[in-house]
Amino acid sequence: MRLSRYFLPVLKETPSEAQIVSHRYMLRAGMIKQQAAGIYSWLPMGFKVLRKIEDIIHEEQAKAGHIAMQMPTLQTADLWRESGRYDGYGEEMLRMQDRHGRDMLFSPTAEELFTDVFRSHVSSYKDLPLTLYQIQWKFRDEIRPRFGVMRGREFYMKDGYNFDLSKEDALHAYNRHLVSYLRTYERMGLQAIPMRADSGPIGGDDTHEFLVLAETGESEVFYDSEVTDLTFGDREIDFDSVEQCQAVLEEFTSRYARTDETHDEALFNQVPQERRRVARGIEVGQIFYFGTKYSDALGATVQGPDGKPTPVHMGSHGIGVSRLLGAIIEASHDDKGIIWPEGVTPFHCGIVNLKQGDEAADEACNALYASLSALGLEPLYDDRNERAGGKFATMDLIGLPWRITVGPRGLKNGVVEVTCRRTGENTEMPPEQAIAKIAEIYGKVAG
Ligand code: ATP
Ligand code: MG
C-alpha cells in the first residue's frame, strides 16, 4: 500500500478522552473512531489488525478440529425464556421489539442459539464430539464502557460451544480449548496466563480466564511468578489425544494463578514468598465447562449407545477479539507509539523515502515495494511529500515492526537502512539484503 493512496487519518493531538495508552494510540493512529459510548467504527488500519487476529483464531480453531459458522446478532427472546436467562440477564442485555411487537435482543453471548441449532439437527451420539464456533459482534450494555475497545458495548468475540456425550469427553474439549488458546495468544505475541476464575451468569464449576498482565488491567490477579516462565512454543500436539491435552493443562494450571474472584489467601501463602505476585491483568478469554445446564433446559439430547435419550455435556469458550487490540498495545508500545508483534502487524514493514521526487530514491523504493509484494508481503510505502521527521513519527506511531529507509546519500553507497521498531537498532545493507532479511523474518524465501 502506498500511504498517499491509503486512508490513515492520524491525529496530531492526544485525544483528551482517552485514559489509557492503547486507547490513545488507537485513536491517534487512525484505527478507530468512537460513534457512541462503547461503539466504534473500525477505520482501515484498525480493521486490518482485527482481521489478522481473526485469521489467527480461525487457523488455530481449525487445527483443534473446531468448526466455524455464523449466528445472527439479533435473536428472539423466546429461546432465552426457554433457558430461563431472559429475565436474569439484567440491564446488560439490549432488548427491543420488532414491528409485530415481538421481543428481540442483541446477542450478548450465544449458548441458547448454538444449543438450538444442535437440538434441531443432531440426534445421535455418533455425531459427537462436536465443537461449533463463530466470530461475531456482541452487544452488552455495560454500565461504564471505557478504555476504548477494551470495554466496549459493541464488541467482537469468538465464541465456541462443545457438545459431548459424557463429562469426560467434555473435559477433554475443555483441555483442548486451553491448549488451543495458549497457541492462539502466543501467535499474537502475547503471554496470556490461564487463571482459575468465577463462572458468572454463564454458570458451571470449571472455568479459567486468560489474562495478559498490564498495569491498566481491570482485574486484580494473584500468581506464582513461575507461571510467567511457561511458554507453549511451537511444540506439536495431537488435539485428539486426551493425555497430551491433559498434560498441557496440568503444566499451565498447576501453579497458583487466580483472579480476585477466586483468590484464596491461605493457599496463596503456601507459594514461597519471593515468588508471590499481585498485579493487574486484562481478561482476553475464558473457557467453561457447565455440564448439562443448557441441554437440560433446552432439551438437547442425543440417542446414546444404549438407545436412551441422553442430555449432552457442554462448555463454552470465548476470546475477546476486539479487546485483544487494546491488550496487545498495552503489552507492546513505547512513548513514540505502538510496537506490533509480527504476527498481527497491519503491514509487514514500512518503506520511508527520504527524498520523494529524487529519481534514484523513487526508483529504489518502487523496486523494494515490488519485490516485497511479490514475496506475498505487504509493505506500507510512505511516498508522501513530507519531511523525513514527519514520516518517521508516523511510522513509529503506527508501530510497524520493521522499517526500510531509503535516501539518495545511502543509495550512492549502495545501501538502505533497516530499523527494528522494538530495539531501535539500525543496520545499513544493500536493498537485496534488506528484502532477504524481511522475507526471513516472516518465513518467506527471497528468490
Ligand atoms: P468481563 O469480566 O471483562 O466483563 P466477561 O467475563 O463478562 O468479561 P465473557 O463472557 O467471558 O466476558 O466473554 C468472553 C471474552 O469477551 C472476555 O474474556 C473478554 O475478553 C471479552 N469481552 C467481554 N466483555 C467485553 C466488553 N465489554 N468489551 C470488549 N470485550 C469484552
Ligand atoms: Mg469472562
Q: Which three cell numbers stand for residue 438?
A: 524481511
Which of 26, 149, 157 to mutate for ligand 1's pocket (most ligand atoms within 8 Å of CB)?
Answer: 157
Nearest by Cα to 186 from 342, 304, 335, 51:
342
Grid coordinates in use for 394?
508516523
Spacing, Cα 110 to ligand 1 middle (Å): 13
157 Cα nearest atom in ligand 1: 16
Can you tell me the distance from the alpha carbon of 50 to that of 45, in angstroms, rounded to the nearest whole number?
9
Ligand at shortest distance from the CA of 109: 1
Percent residues over pLDDT 70 in the chain: 98
As a whole-number percent, the residues of the chain with pLDDT over 90 amount to 96
Ligand 1: does its nearest atom lie under 6 Å from the Cβ of 142?
A: yes
pLDDT for 53-86, tens place per residue?
999 999 999 999 999 999 999 999 999 999 999 9
Mean pLDDT to the nearest integer, 133-157: 97
**Domain-wise residue ranges, the chain:** 7-338, 349-441
Q: Which of 107-116, 192-201, 236-245 has the lowest mean pLDDT?
A: 192-201
Distance, CA of 329 to CA of 282 (rounded, Å)? 12
Query: What per-residue confidence (pLDDT) applies to 32?
Result: 98
Report the mean per-residue pLDDT for the chain: 96
Q: Is the pLDDT of residue 201 over 90?
A: no
Task: Kindly report the protein residue whose alpha carbon is nearest to atom 19 of ligand 1.
Answer: 320
Q: Is 337 in the pocket of ligand 1 (CB under 6 A)?
A: no
Q: How confident is the model at residue 230 (pLDDT cuts 50, 70, 90)?
A: very high
Phi, psi dihedral angles at 72 (to 5 degrees): -70, 155
pLDDT in tens, 320-335: 999 999 999 999 999 9
User: Which of 32, 177, 283, 284 to mutate to test ligand 1, by most ligand atoms within 8 A of the CB atom?
Assistant: 283
Model pLDDT for residues 395-442, shown as the tens digit of each residue: 999 999 999 999 999 999 999 999 999 999 999 999 999 999 999 999
pLDDT value at residue 256: 96
Q: Using CA atoms, how far apart are residues 363 and 357, in angstroms rounded to an integer?
A: 10
CATH among 3.30.960.10, 3.40.50.150, 2.60.120.200, 3.30.930.10 for 7-338: 3.30.930.10
CATH of 349-441, one of 3.90.220.20, 3.20.20.140, 3.40.630.30, 3.40.50.800: 3.40.50.800
Please choose, from the candidates 284, 259, 279, the residue with its C-alpha nearest in 3D space to the C-alpha of residue 198.
259
Mean pLDDT of 109-130: 96
pLDDT confidence of residue 254: 94
Residue 202 has pLDDT above 70, yes or no: no
pLDDT band (50, 70, 90) for residue 203? low
Confidence category of residue 17, pLDDT binned at 50, 70, 90:
confident
Instruction: List, for residues 52-62, the tens digit of each pLDDT value.
Output: 999 999 999 99
CA atoms within a 13 Å half-sphere pointing along the CA-CB vector of 293 = 19
What pLDDT is attached to residue 197?
87
Rounded distance between C-alpha atoms, residue 58 and residue 60, angstroms: 6
